[in-house]
Structure 1
Amino acid sequence: MTDIRDDVRIGFHAVFEHEPDGLWSAPGRVNLIGEHTDYNLGFVLPFAIDRRTVVGVGLRDDRMLRVASTFADEMVEISLDALAALSTDDTGRELSGWSAYVLGVAWALGLAEFGADLAAVPGLDMLIDSDVPVGAGLSSSAAIESAVALALNDIWQLGLDRPTLARVGQRAENIAVGAPTGIMDQSASLLGVRDHAVFLDCRSLEAQVVPLGLDEAGLVILVIDTGVKHSHATGGYGERRAACERGAEAMGVESLRDVSVADLPRARELLDDVTYRRVAHVVTENQRVLDTVDTLRGVGSDEGAPSGPLAIGELLDASHRSMRDDFEISVPELDLAVETAVSAGAIGARMTGGGFGGAAIALVKLDDLSRVQVAVDNAFGEHGFSAPDTFVVRASDGAARN
């Protein structure tokens, strides 16, 4: 983290020839459980991780926004007047490329529902750096959006709270970037607390922090980045969302949040097989989130029975099976990572993120960590897959000024 901040300060001066007025950062996230439930107004349980995006911001004396990064050659600039014009018709699709994650946040702040007067704020220079892996399902995009949203909120003195900034980031990703994601990622990045998960009701947007207790239990979260890149802005993500919407309409409800496990027999009668399986995943995944929260809190556990993080393994395993078989968003590399980790002693494992690539997570006893990592590396080699990147993440605090 310190190295990234230093890199941003040095890089900012090199690119813009003046010092930044401040640095802000926001973490990526791991979703412990609750996949594709957020845009169905259900429940999710992510946590912020100790991999972060840092943005350096410097005030200008004109009306220009200039954005650069350590991972792209070109600097992108746009006038605030041009950005304000885009905000009047609720479209940010003229923004493109990596800078849409940054400029899209400024654009979204100017929408009527968020209320920033883009005609009355100063221009800015911004430089982005990050150690959140891109395309791994750890929400590198939300880390950018959340860091920028917090920075603009502070430096433009907008006075918005963090749940509102999460909605700003979501709007930027949905419209400016064109990815039909829910609000989970930005919420985790902005609301995270060290050694806690964020239990988010995506209908009410009520958030609670739930103690994870991993250190006390001698457990770690191992990320297994398969190296298979994915993109939410294209392909199967949008198709899955459309299937959920069709299922809700056929069931006569506003969203799949209103369908319970007890309703699934009726859903099977009403829906074609594919749509039913998409619905079944979301409905059962919502229940798994609730069960995981109760287990972590020790609610309803019998005396002497496992509780806390040691007892959630089967819920993680069931989540992966559901994503693999019903939602069909896994890939062979993810399945191999999960199966191998569990066989080598992991408490439980599942793919995390939107799917079609990215990373799996495994809940592992610290004493078993090396064995699980070696087993996964060997399995990938035996199957002819490129070696995965495996690393431990810890539940971290959310976005902050640094």
Structure 2
Amino acid sequence: MVKYDKFLPVPGFKAAGLHCGIKKNKSKKDLSIIYSEKKAISAATFTTNKVKAAPVQINMENIKNENTQAIVINSGNANACTGKKGFDDAMEMTLTTAKELDLSSNEVLVASTGIIGVSMPMDKIIPGITKGVSLISNDGFDHAAEGILTTDSSTKTVSVEFTIDGKNIIISGMAKGSGMIHPNMATMLGFILTNASISKKMLQKALSHSVKDSFNMISVDGDTSTNDMVIILANESANNNTINLEDKNYIKFKKALGIVTVELAKMIAGDGEGATKLIEVNLSGSKTKEDAKLCAKSIITSNLVKSAFFGGDANWGRILCSMGYSGGDFNPEYVNIFFEGENGKIQLVKDGMGLSFDEDLAKKILLEDYIKIIVDLKDGKYSAKAWGCDLSYDYVKINGAYRT
């Protein structure tokens, strides 16, 4: 199994990305189209926010179809809280894409990201879709990955290549996300493509499982979006024996998909608005998996923990405190806490009590751009990982003027 830190084109899929005029800056792409040359099996997960954008509502119905053949995505406008007009606009995006590609509208999924509560500039989007369809190609994925971005500092892509039944399988993913990021999905969009042959039931099962341990374990600012979704399409062009049971091939596929979703999730967490460092919580020794997840997510969500990491302050008390209100069951008198980075590993807490530690070494670790918080509850066999970032002055600057 080989991982690539780029989007490896998947046989049978094409894409395009372009500037259609939603964003004021003409150098920034704001519309993307992903197209499967043959009907593809589809699966998805959607935001848990009660306020759901129009594209989410449409996709929750269209994903019930066995097949999907195209996805149209815009950035710069969320098409959320826009009433019936917003719903009609999202539907028109699917209808236009379907017409241009000679598909049924229910074979098209739609995604939007950007400012909430603003009507879609359909006079720009509809011609943009027509132009985008004319541009789709096997080499269009880098442009498509650009077209889905908002405040992201860079594109987020990853691929895994492996074999099933002697057939070469590729799973490639792209994502966007930088702010309004919180467990149970975030202001993020994820699009994953594969040439594997797999049933819809097994594809949904694998995706749902992978999302729980990846996108649902990241936090930037504690806000859960109205628009987030992860969509996977499998076009079955690899011609492996169809995966329709939880057998060894399913396990292999799920492992590869897990690599893709975790890597994309880490990229989103590390690219948090104003972030200067990626923080990973590696928690073990929990009585249950749920307790482990609750404690790990609470640490990564704490604004006090995030602020301390921005300042390079080894304030371990905030970590223990955040676990205490997480709802996870653990004994504080058993807990060990470590920090780890390229400069080494240091223990700060043993059996729930602070240790005398090398402040200079702790500072060196905390000033790195990828830091691990290692927590051992010493009370069971379950573990969990979560990812987030520090909270900087720039986060407030970005979000203080996001709309204007």
Q: TM-score, normalised by structure 2?
A: 0.29
Q: Which has the higher contact order (CA 8 A, sep 6+)?
A: 1
Instruction: Specify which structure has the higher proportion of strand.
Output: 2
Instruction: Specify which structure has the higher proportion of helix.
Output: 1
Q: TM-score, normalised by structure 1?
A: 0.29
